[in-house]
Structure formats: C-alpha cells, structure tokens
Amino acid sequence: MAENKLKELSTDFAVDILNLVKELKLKRESIISNQIGRSGTSIGANIREAQYAHSKADFISKLQIALKEANETGYWLELLLRTGYIADTVFKELDNKCSTLRVLLISSINTAKKNQ
C-alpha cells in the first residue's frame, strides 16, 4: 500500500516539476530548471527501480537515493523562491509535496531496515 502511494505521489510530483521546468524555460532560466528537472523526476525513477531491487539492501539503497533527490529538489525550490522565479504559493505547494515524499521515504526506509 505504501509503495503504491509513493509511486503515485512521486509521479504526480514529477509532472508538477516538469510543468515548472516548462515555465522556467519560458522565463529563460536554465541553470536551476535543469537541476530541478533532474532531481525532481529522479525521485520517482528511484522508487520505481526499488520495486525490482536485487536484495533488501538494494531496495533500501534505491529509496535512500530517492530521499537524497527529494532533499536536493527542496533546495532548488528554495533557490527559485529566493531568486523570485516562483511565487510563495507555488513554493509552498511544491515544497509541501516534496516534504510529504521525504516523510514517506524515511518511513519506508526505516520499515525496510527493521525487516532486514
């Protein structure tokens, strides 16, 4: 159940990030948009990779990478807010979704470690 929620939320978040990247490109911002495009979509990609992990350790490793990517994405969102590329409302919405993903990933990682 939690894995399906992670998959769904991470995919929805990736779509939001890709739409944000489109907007940023229209504003001719390319440095952060490239970075956030990579990290924001990598979260879901690593969650998907975890589904077919070779071992429990590999599963945990993939989720830890997804967590790192989520943390990085939060950093890029903060920079976009501070530089005026996104409004506070956009930041709050995306940061909330990113934080939710981090909380779910931490919970999944901790559960997987206990069941190792």
Q: Do 3 and 105 form a contact (C-beta atoms < 8 A)?
A: no
pLDDT at 8 over 60: yes
- 69-61-63 Cα angle (round to 5): 50
- State the first-to-last Cα distance of the chain, in angstroms, to the nearest integer: 19
Residue that is written with structure tokens 């901790």 in the block: 110
Residue ranges per domain, the chain? 2-114
Q: DSSP string spanning 35-85?
A: HHHHHHHHHHHHHHHHHT-SSHHHHHHHHHHHHHHHHHHHHHHHHHHHTTS
Taking only the tens place, the pLDDT of each residue in 14-49 is 999 999 999 999 999 999 999 999 999 999 999 999
Q: Do 62 and 50 form a contact (C-beta atoms < 8 A)?
A: yes
Taking only the tens place, the pLDDT of each residue in 47-92 is 999 999 999 999 999 999 999 999 999 999 999 999 999 999 999 9
DSSP symbol at 27: T
CATH class of 2-114: mainly alpha
